[in-house]
Amino acid sequence: MKLYGLAADPVEVYRTLRERHGPVVPVLLDGDVPAWLVLGYREVCRVAGDARTFARDCRRWNAWDRVPEDWPLMPHVGWTPSVVFAEGAEHRRRSGALGEALDGVRRPEMALACRRIADGLIDGFAADGRADLVDGYARPMSLLAVAWLLGLPEEDVPELAEEADAARNVTGAVDSCKDAHRRMHARMQRLVGERRYRARDDVPSRLLAHPAGLTDEEAALDLLALLVSAHRPTADWIASALRVVLAGGAFAGEPRGDGDALREALWEDTPVQGVIGRWAVHDCVLGDRRIHRGDLLVLGLGAANADPHAQPDGAAPNRAHLSFGHGEHGCPPPAPELAEVVARAAVAALPDRLADVRLAVPAADLEWRPSPWTRGPAALPVEFTPEC
């Protein structure tokens, strides 16, 4: 089964695949590079939760000879000495420091900052009577909130926006993606230098002061990982939650809780559909498949959320969703909580400011960005009474 070229509805494709081939499916990634796609809820939990058998360091891969330099998925497997590819005690050192640096963020202060950001963005289009809530709202909202977390000035954000997207663009040109990574890395190195010189009450300063004793380069790499990991999923979460609310006719009609829309978006249209990945440390069996040492496993988080084992009666889910991953390389606490502060502020501000905001096209015409890896609406055109 070729995973590339998969377009509009990965959720449906994954569901069919799981029904036909079981919870672990051999697939071909771009360029016919082989991998295992893990689709079952139990199997994803096992792979993500058992780091002694399924580890994160991509240098274990047994298919490197099949991977060209300009492979489109290189951003996911290009090893760097960052928290993302670290294992064992080194991962605990780096991830622990990052988690504690994030934990120092005062939630009410962040909620206020996010509301200010949301209001500023709405100010930008309120007089127009129409807007695209993906490019005009969800995406800059997420980026400005992450810039706030990192203590970066707002002037840096437009440049950062282009680079953060280029760096994650798995279908774009690999050279421009590498350049974007290099520029963002240089910006993080500068940020670390600035905070070493003069500490502030922010995430980079707390990371540098942490007893784990990160070097400047380790801190720059982990802040870069934070920026890239946080921005797109948070933007997609906001956009998908807004889609749930707007497509349901709420805001303009019967209101529903923001929390419902946020939760529904995580379960049904989770922003990170597939994670590349984990590499088998030794030969083993997973879901009746024989996995060889060095094989690549892709975590199908969207498919796992839709697995009947996660939702036994097809309605009320009695298990935790896997949208933030699972195990030691999952989204590090308290990042999911902080992402929710951003998403909640974004969803709440809109009807407060634009009471009759509604979709400008039928909900059935809304399209998803074509990607098997991430999920979010391609656009959310809305209209409303212009603010004078």
Footprint on this chain of ligand HEM (rule: CB under 6 A):
48, 83-84, 95, 98, 225-226, 229-230, 233-234, 237, 271-272, 275, 299, 301, 323-325, 329-332, 335, 338-339
Query: What's the CA gap between 116 and 359, in Å, rounded?
Result: 24
Reduced to 3 states, what is the DSSP secondary structure of residue 144?
A: helix
Q: Which segments within 103-244 are labelled E, that is strand?
A: 130-132
CB of 337 to ligand HEM, least distance (A): 9
Nearest to 75 by CA among 203, 163, 192: 163
- The residue (of 125 and 269) whose beta carbon lies closer to ligand HEM is 269
Structure-block tokens of residue 381: 């055109």
CB of 388 to ligand HEM, least distance (A): 35
CB of 94 to ligand HEM, least distance (A): 8
Query: What's the CA gap between 282 and 291, in Å, rounded?
Result: 8
CB of 102 to ligand HEM, least distance (A): 6
Structure-block tokens of residue 351: 């009807």
- The residue (of 301 and 359) whose beta carbon lies closer to ligand HEM is 301
Single-letter amino acid code for the residue at 248: G
- The residue (of 11 and 272) whose beta carbon lies closer to ligand HEM is 272
Query: What's the CA gap between 102 and 335, in Å, rounded?
Result: 7
Cβ-Cβ contacts under 8 Å for 304 (sequence gap 6 or more): 38, 39, 40, 41, 43, 44, 45, 310, 322
CB of 203 to ligand HEM, least distance (A): 9
CB of 326 to ligand HEM, least distance (A): 6
CB of 338 to ligand HEM, least distance (A): 4
In order of 12, 45, 128, 286, the CA distances from 294 in angstroms are 29, 19, 54, 14
- The residue (of 125 and 323) whose beta carbon lies closer to ligand HEM is 323
- The residue (of 287 and 332) whose beta carbon lies closer to ligand HEM is 332
CB of 335 to ligand HEM, least distance (A): 4
Q: Residue with the closest Cβ to ligand HEM?
A: 325
In order of 20, 43, 316, 368, the CA distances from 308 in angstroms are 14, 13, 11, 24
- The residue (of 205 and 234) whose beta carbon lies closer to ligand HEM is 234
- The residue (of 131 and 275) whose beta carbon lies closer to ligand HEM is 275
Q: Kindly report the backbone phi and psi dihedral angles of residue 349, in degrees, each rounded to the nearest multiple of 5, phi listed first.
A: -70, -35
Reduced to 3 states, what is the DSSP secondary structure of residue 383?
A: strand
CB 222 within 8 A of CB 210: no
CB of 352 to ligand HEM, least distance (A): 22
The 24-29 sheet, strands edge to edge: 24-29, 33-38, 296-300, 274-280, 54-55
DSSP code at position 65: G
* Polymer length in residues for the chain: 388
- The residue (of 53 and 176) whose beta carbon lies closer to ligand HEM is 53
- The residue (of 17 and 47) whose beta carbon lies closer to ligand HEM is 47
CB 115 within 8 A of CB 371: no
